[in-house]
Amino acid sequence: SHLGDFIEDPTALAPQDAASHQLLKEQVMDVLSSLTPRERKVLELRFGLEDGRSRTLEEVGREFNVTRERIRQIEAKALRKLRHPTRSKKLKDYLD
């Protein structure tokens, strides 16, 4: 055994936190899967759900070859869908 085996890693998540994080990620993916592929991709890009880097309306618009206003509309519609009780109740437990 090495000294490094006994030194706590301050950046590591506690096992309970890691499990909660994984469950939340699975629930978010489940809820997003109820959207259209376009809506899901817009939210993933806007909020950085894939790579941690959130994009502007302009950047997402360029990727889809539409205006930033159209992206705003798609985003708003997708978020409205996610607020519906049948979807939002799956994530409520994680909002504490």
DSSP string of 61-95, one letter each residue: HHHHTS-HHHHHHHHHHHHHHHHSHHHHTTTGGGG
Q: Which domains does the chain possess? A: 29-95 (1.10.10.10)
The pTM (predicted TM-score) of the whole model is 0.73
pLDDT of residue 94: 66
Report the pLDDT averaged over residues 14-39. 84
The whole-chain average pLDDT of the chain stands at: 86
Is the distance from CB of 13 to CB of 25 less than 8 angstroms? no
pLDDT band at residue 4 under the 50/70/90 scheme: low
How is residue 33 written in tokens?
A: 């899967």
Top pLDDT among 68 and 96 is at: 68
Q: Which residue has the tokens 């489940």?
A: 30
Between the alpha carbon of residue 17 and those of residues 30, 35, 92, 93, the distances in Å are: 20, 28, 17, 14
